[in-house]
A and B are shown apart, each in its own frame.
Chain A
Amino acid sequence: MKRLTAHINKLFETLPETEQTKIVREEIIRDLEEKVADLIEEGKSEEDAINKVIVEFGDIEEIRQEMDLPDSNHRKSELARLNLGFSLWGSGLIIALFVFINFYYTPHVVWFIYPAFAVAWWPLSMFYHLHRKKLEGRE
């Protein structure tokens, strides 16, 4: 029976661990254990019974599709959006600081544009990252 539980646990590893998947997993293990017990009663050895049950189980993908599991791609693009937002605010503040220093101490020489360009790489790379995640999600 341990082998059966281990097999089902392994199948469920591909699904995210939520309250819902946990309940379904428990339910399935209980039912399959009963099926194994029935098969043993019919005269099968425990090993044969477990093999048969595992083979007849089918594709876990069917269950996954019916569950409202959080879409990992969607979540990644949410995170990428957060990264972009943070980088925009962060670089905005840094550039503002450069502008301030520039015009406060050396009002006759405009040099803030150089560090501003360097800092702009940050939000730019985050924007690229977000765009890429979106494309990946569409596939």
Chain B
Amino acid sequence: MITTSDRVIEEMGGSPIRSDILRGHLDSIILRLLKDEDSYGYALSKKISHRTGGRFEIKEATLYAVFQRLEKKQLIESYYGARSHGGKRKYYRITTLGKAYLYEMVREWQEVKEIVDLFMEEIDE
């Protein structure tokens, strides 16, 4: 997992908001959104850019890579939803394992945030 994200980071670049730091939390972000309701790729990417006010837009290639990764780890599972616009759409739902993983990630993030804040917040202007 670490090697994969490292490799991905090397290939990044471009606008700062799509930075490595955010990238490391994409799994958590997708899991968090799927915890609210089952969804499919495009709906999730719309939700992400909407919630961030357009400051973060996930690339499709990245999004589907996340799906593959999460499904492989059995944190999410997919199923085919009702027909719409002349075809079946693939939905994703979070698994019990996924929920457990998400809680663990949230707990870890809180801790990381506190630690980073210790250093980042005491800078004099």
Find B65's partner among A27, A32, A65 (CB 8 Å cutoff): A65
Query: How many angstroms from the CA of A78 to the CA of B17 in the assembled complex?
Result: 44
Please tell me the number of chain B residues within 8 Å of chain A, measured between CB atoms.
24
Q: List 6 A-B contacts (CB under 8 A).
A: A28-B41, A30-B90, A31-B60, A58-B61, A60-B61, A65-B8
Q: Identify whether the interface residues of B are mostly helix, strand, loop, or mixed.
A: helix
Is B68 a contact partner of A61 (Cβ separation < 8 A)? no
The answer to whether B89 and A30 have CB atoms under 8 Å apart is: yes
Determine whether A13 belongs to the interface, using a CB cutoff of 8 Å to chain B. no
Residue numbers in A under 8 Å from B89 (CB-CB): 30
Asked whether B4 lies within 8 Å of A65 as measured between CB atoms, the reply is yes
Q: A31-B42, A34-B42, A34-B85 are in contact. Are A66 and B4 (CB under 8 A)?
A: yes
User: Which residues of B are interface residues toward A (Cβ below 8 A)?
Assistant: 4, 7-8, 11, 40-42, 45-46, 57, 59-62, 64-66, 68-69, 72, 85, 87, 89-90
- The distance from the CB of B42 to the nearest CB of chain A, in whole angstroms, is 4
Q: Chain A interface residue count: which class?
A: 20 to 34
Chain A CB within 10 A, most for which of B8, B64, B68, B72: B64
Q: Tell whether, in the assembled complex, residue A62 and residue B85 are in contact, meaning their CB atoms are under 8 Å apart.
A: no
A76 to chain B, nearest CB (A): 22
Expressed in whole angstroms, the Cα–Cα distance for A57 and B8 within the complex equals 15
- Selected from A38, A58, A68, the residue in CB contact (under 8 A) with B62 is A58
How far does the alpha carbon of A41 sit from the alpha carbon of B106 in the complex, in Å? 37
With A27-B90, A30-B87: A62-B72 Cβ-Cβ less than 8 Å:
no
Pair B68/A59 contact, Cβ less than 8 Å: no
Inter-subunit contact B7/A57 (CB<8 Å): no
Q: Is the CB of A58 within 8 A of B60?
A: yes
Q: Which residues of B contact A60 (CB under 8 A)?
A: 61
Distance to closest chain B CB from A43 (angstroms): 17
CB–CB A28/B64 < 8 A: yes
